[in-house]
Amino acid sequence: MNITHQIKLTLLTLCCTFSTISTAQKQQPNIVIIMADDLGLGDVSAFHRQYSDRPVVAETPTIDSLAAQGMSFTDAHSPTALCAPTRYSVMSGNSTYRGYQPWGVWSTFDKTAITADDATIGRVGKQAGYTTGFIGKWHMGGTFNRKDGTQYSGARGGPKTKVVDVSRWIAGTPEEIGFDYDFTVPSGVQGPMYLAYENSVWYPLNKDSKIAYVDENSALDKKFVSDKGPGMGESHWDARKLNMLLAEKATNFIKRNAGKKPFLLNYWSPAVHIPHTPPQEINGIKIAGTTPTNHLDMNRVLDIEVAQIIQTLKDTNQYNNTLIIFTSDNGGIGNPFEQKAGHFSSGPYSGRKNSALEGGHRVPFIAVWPNKIKAGSVNNTLVNGTDIVATIAALTQVKLNEKQAKDSWNLLPTFLGQPFQERHLLMQQGGSNKELMMREGDWKIIMQTNRDVTERKIHALYNLKEDPQEKNNLVNKAVHKERVTAMFNKYWQIRDSGIRTAPIL
C-alpha cells in the first residue's frame, strides 16, 4: 500500500473522532486569537520558569495568567520559522508549500496566496454567523492601483514617487477573506509600508498626516525605519504608539459587539518584531529602560496589549464565554546581552527565528475557555499553527471540504480532555536558508532545498526525545539509514501528490 493510500485510510478512520460536539459547545462562544510576532517560548516568563532557575528578566504576567487559567502546550510549533509564510498557513490551515510563493517575506504589493476556495479564520467565523474582526499585522500581500487605475507590482516599499494610490487597498484585503471589520498594518511595525488601514482605507494617525515616502530623513525618528528599508508611509508614523493603538481598536471591537451575536477577533500583534521602539510609559506604567534591552521592553508592551484585551472581555461579561488562543508566528530572536542576563528567547532549545532547529519554530501555545478547558493544565500533544482553522470549524460546526485546511487538525477534543487521535506527522519550513523539516513521532529530519525546490538533500536527523537540543546529528549513522530514506521519501510523496495530511471535519 503506497503512502497516499495509507494516509487516506488513516484520515477516513480518524474522521469519526471529530464528529461529536457536546451541547455545551453548541452555545457559540466568542473566539479571540492572539498571535505575537517573533515571541519565543522563553520570552514568556511562565515558560521560562519551567526550564530555568534563573530569575525572570522581563515578566509577562498577563500571558502567564492565561497559562494558569487554561492549557499550555509543550510541543507547539509555527508552520515556518519566518513570519509571512506562517501567516498564510495559520490563516488558511494549509502548509506553506501549498501557496504560490512559499518562501521569504512577501512584499506589501504581492498578490496574496490565499485563494477564493480556501477556508480561513474569517470565513469560518462568518459562515458560522459570527461578527468577525481582524486587527494587527497582515503581511500576506495586497493590491494597490497606480494613479492611472492599473495595478502596481514592484518593490516592497513602493515607488519613491506618488504614482501609486496607497490611500485605498484594492484587493487581497481582510474583508475578502471573511472579516467584517479590520484595522490593519500591512507589514506590521517593520514596514514597508508605514501606513495603517481601517476597512481598506488609509487611517491617518494625526489630523495633519500626509502620505509620504518614509526614510531616515523624513521619519519622525530614524529608528522607526527598520532594516526592511524605507517605503511609502505617512508623515506621523510613530512605532512607539502602534501597539497600543491596535489594542485600543481591539477593545473597541469587543465593546461594540459584546452581548450581541458571537464575535471572532483575530489579533496579530506586531510585537516583538524589530524595530524595538518601546514607549516611555503606558497608562502611567514606565516601560522604556525597565529591562536590559529594548526587545524585552517590547515583551512588556505585548503583555499589556494582551491585558487590555482580556480586561475588556471581563468588563463586558464576555470572558467566561470566550475561547482564547495565544501563540506566536515563529521562534524568538535572541540577544547575547540578554543571554548574559539570563534570558533565552528560545528557552532550552537550539536555534532562533529563521532556523530549522527547534528554537526557530517551537512557540508558546495557550488555550483558555473558562469552565471548559482545565485551568493550569499542560498538554504534550504535537500541535501547529495550522490547527487553528479546523479547531474553530469544529467549535462552530462549520463543515470543511477536502480541499480546505489540508494540514489543520481539530484540537477541540484535546482542549476539552476528550479522546483525541494525536498528529504524528508534521511538515514545516525553515527560513531564508531554504530548509524543510518533517516530524514523525520523536524523529525529525531537516532537508536542504532551493527556491524552486529542485534540490532535495538530507541535512540532519534528530531524535527529539533523546536530544531535544539537537546536538547529535544522526543522519550519517548506518543504523538510521533506513529511517532517513523512509522519512525523506514520505515527505516528498506527500508534498508532490498534494494529498492532505489532516482529517476532514
Segment 280-285 long-range contacts (CB within 8 Å, at least 24 positions apart): 280/240, 282/244
**Does the structure show a pLDDT above 70 at 3?**
no
Phi/psi class of residue 371: alpha, beta or left (left: φ > 0; alpha: ψ in -120 to 50)?
Answer: left
* Averaged pLDDT for residues 430-439: 96
Q: Are strands 131-137 and 263-268 parallel, antiparallel or unpaired?
A: parallel
* Averaged pLDDT for residues 44-54: 93
* Averaged pLDDT for residues 128-133: 98
**Does the structure show a pLDDT above 60 at 1?**
no
- Indicate the DSSP class of residue 383: E
Q: SS3 letters for 119-162?
A: CCHHHHHHHCCCEEEEEEECCCCCECEECCCCECCCCCCCCCCC
User: Is-contact 114 91, C-beta < 8 A?
Assistant: yes
**Does the structure show a pLDDT above 70 at 427?**
yes
**Does the structure show a pLDDT above 50 at 167?**
yes
**Does the structure show a pLDDT above 50 at 25?**
no
**Does the structure show a pLDDT above 80 at 293?**
yes
Q: Which domains, from first to last, does the chain contain?
A: 30-423 (3.40.720.10)
CA atoms of 405 and 90, how far apart (whole Å): 9
Q: What is the pLDDT of residue 2?
A: 55
Confidence of residue 372 (pLDDT cuts 50, 70, 90): very high
**Does the structure show a pLDDT above 60 at 459?**
yes
Write down the H helix ranges in 361-459: 387-396, 412-415
Write down the H helix ranges in 19-139: 45-51, 61-69, 83-92, 121-127
Question: Does residue 239 or residue 9 have the better pLDDT?
Answer: 239
Q: What is the pLDDT of residue 163?
A: 86
Q: Work out the mean pLDDT of the chain and round it to a whole number.
A: 92
Which residues have a Cβ under 8 Å from the Cβ of 449 and sit 6 or more positions away? 434, 435, 436, 455, 456, 457
At 402, list the grid cell.
477536502
* Averaged pLDDT for residues 317-346: 95
Which residues have a Cβ under 8 Å from the Cβ of 6 and sit 6 or more positions away? none
The 10s digit of each residue's pLDDT in 199-256 is: 999 999 999 999 999 999 999 999 999 888 899 999 999 999 999 999 999 999 999 9
**Does the structure show a pLDDT above 80 at 368?**
yes
Q: What is the pLDDT of residue 4?
A: 53
Prediction pTM value: 0.94
Q: What is the pLDDT of residue 5?
A: 53
Percent with pLDDT over 90 in the chain:
83
Residue 25's nearest CA partner among 496, 411, 461 is 411
Confidence of residue 273 (pLDDT cuts 50, 70, 90): very high
Q: What is the pLDDT of residue 14?
A: 45
* Averaged pLDDT for residues 348-363: 97
**Does the structure show a pLDDT above 50 at 21?**
no
* Averaged pLDDT for residues 271-282: 97
Confidence of residue 154 (pLDDT cuts 50, 70, 90): confident
CA atoms of 333 and 135, how far apart (whole Å): 23
CA atoms of 171 and 151, how far apart (whole Å): 10
Does residue 275 have a cis bond before it (omega within 30 degrees)?
Answer: yes
Q: What is the pLDDT of residue 102?
A: 86
Q: What is the pLDDT of residue 20?
A: 34
Q: What is the pLDDT of residue 334?
A: 82
Residue 219's nearest CA partner among 206, 202, 237, 203 is 237
User: How does DSSP assign 259-296, residue by residue?
Assistant: TSS-EEEEEE--TTSSS----SEETTEE-TTSSSSHHH
Q: What is the pLDDT of residue 24?
A: 36
Least trusted range by pLDDT, from 14-23, 108-117, 391-400: 14-23
Q: Phi/psi at 232 (nearest 5 deg)?
A: -60, 140
* HSE-CB for 469 with a 13 A CA cutoff: 4
**Does the structure show a pLDDT above 80 at 160?**
no
Q: What is the pLDDT of residue 263?
A: 98
Secondary element (H or E) of residue 497: helix 481-497
Q: What angle do CA 73, 264, 329 make, to 5 degrees?
A: 40
* HSE-CB for 327 with a 13 A CA cutoff: 29
* Averaged pLDDT for residues 78-107: 91
The 10s digit of each residue's pLDDT in 138-153 is: 999 888 998 888 888 7
Question: Does residue 164 or residue 132 have the better pLDDT?
Answer: 132
Residue 112's nearest CA partner among 140, 82, 152 is 140
**Does the structure show a pLDDT above 60 at 431?**
yes
User: Is-contact 318 25, C-beta < 8 A?
Assistant: no
**Does the structure show a pLDDT above 80 at 9?**
no
**Does the structure show a pLDDT above 70 at 451?**
yes
